[in-house]
Amino acid sequence: MVLEDSEAVGGKFSVVQGGYNPGRTRNQQVKRTVAGTLDISQGVNVQDHQYLIRCKADETRSGFGNYAELIRLWSLNNPKGTPTDRITLTDHYGDTYYVYFAGQFNPQAVTTMLEGYNAIFFVPVTLHFEP
Q: Could you read off the pLDDT of 48-96 as tens digits, one per residue?
A: 999 999 999 999 999 999 999 999 999 999 999 899 999 999 999 999 9
**Would you list the domain boundaries of the chain?**
2-129
- The beta-carbon contacts of 107-113 under 8 Å, at least 24 apart in sequence, are 107/67, 110/54, 113/57
Reported as a pLDDT band with limits 50, 70 and 90, residue 131 is: confident
Q: Could you read off the pLDDT of 28-47 as tens digits, one per residue?
A: 899 999 999 999 998 888 89
Q: How many residues does the chain have?
A: 131
What pTM was estimated for this model as a whole?
A: 0.84
CB 129 within 8 A of CB 49: yes
Is 90 exceeded by the pLDDT of residue 27?
A: no
**Residue 60 and residue 66: Cα distance in Å, rounded?**
9
